[in-house]
Amino acid sequence: MSDTTDILEMLSKGSITVEEAEKALRMKPFVDLGFAKPDLHRGMRQGIPEVIFGQGKTAEQIDAISESLLESGQKTVLITRLSEDKAALLKTAVKYYKEARIAAAGIIPEPDCKGTIVVATGGTSDLPVAEEAAVTAELLGNKVTRLYDVGVAGIQRLLSHTEELMSASVVIAIAGMEGALASVIGGLVNCPVIAVPTSVGYGASFEGLSALLSMLNSCASGVTVVNIDNGFGAGYSASMINHIGG
């Protein structure tokens, strides 16, 4: 029962004039007109996890937000960028993923859509970013296959997983240094590839700039890119795409 309805009914009943109604509407147009987010919110109440950015918040603050979300009907809550120390202090968290630096509160969901998301990395140093992507995707209800350390300098390691790659509905390609993994995978598969440059490297990698530019210039079609080290963003986008298929 929104304010707009109230105002209109008051106008309809003659309790207020047209001018008064017009002014009242003008004063709070965004609260009650119901565009944009409400659908999203509704969607979320139906089971899609809400996300709390853990960095810079105290354990108490996180618990408070987490509790209020769970009480409002949210089934799962993701807490990202969370140190192990802080995670140990959380009361609401039911599981902590150390590599991913993610905690989950509420229910750990089962996969709720058909497709599989493949998370591939160039090297073992890319693992924290990869786990952030993989755990995000899992907690958002996706099946995830991990293909780690399949960098292009040993192309046969990657090619030996052609079948997993070919059967994915989305691939997240994670690599630092020269970031070539995204292009090679983009050329092998038929599905969308989300590339995540990492800050792994030294010297002319310039904290991930090299991999970022490589991935943006990928000569393979179907490759899009997120920010350096943004495993969460890749997992979130991949989940969105994967759920389109039902």
Q: How far is 212 from 152, CA to CA, in rounded Å?
A: 16
Residue 218 backbone phi and psi in degrees, to 5: -50, 135
Which of 49, 50, 51, 54 lies at the binding interface for its own copies (CB under 8 A)? 51
- Using CB under 8 A as the binding rule, whether residue 124 contacts its own copies is answered as yes
Query: Considering only residues 80-109, where is the footprint of its own copies by CB under 8 A?
Result: none
- Using CB under 8 A as the binding rule, whether residue 121 contacts its own copies is answered as no
Query: Considering only residues 216-245, where is the footprint of its own copies by CB under 8 A?
Result: 216-230, 232-234, 236-237, 240-242, 244-245
Which of 54, 106, 201, 231 lies at the binding interface for its own copies (CB under 8 A)? 201
Query: Considering only residues 136-195, where is the footprint of its own copies by CB under 8 A?
Result: 151-157, 159-160, 162-163, 166, 169, 176-180, 182-184, 186-192, 194
**Using CB under 8 A, which of the segments 65-73, 84-92, 98-106, 212-220 binds its own copies?**
212-220
Do residues 80 and 48 touch, judged by C-beta distance below 8 A? no
Do residues 134 and 159 touch, judged by C-beta distance below 8 A? no
Of 92 and 237, which has the nearer Cβ to its own copies?
Answer: 237
- Using CB under 8 A as the binding rule, whether residue 1 contacts its own copies is answered as no
Q: Under DSSP, is residue 127 helix (H, G, I), strand (E, B) or coil?
A: helix
Distances (CA, A) of 233 to 4, 132, 215, 245: 36, 9, 16, 19
- Least separation in angstroms between residue 125's CB and its own copies is 6
Give the Cβ contact number of residue 31 at 10 Å: 10
Question: Whose structure tokens read 């030996």?
Answer: 160
Of 26 and 71, which has the nearer Cβ to its own copies?
Answer: 26
- Least separation in angstroms between residue 132's CB and its own copies is 12
Query: Integer distance in angstroms from the first to the last C-alpha of the chain?
Result: 32
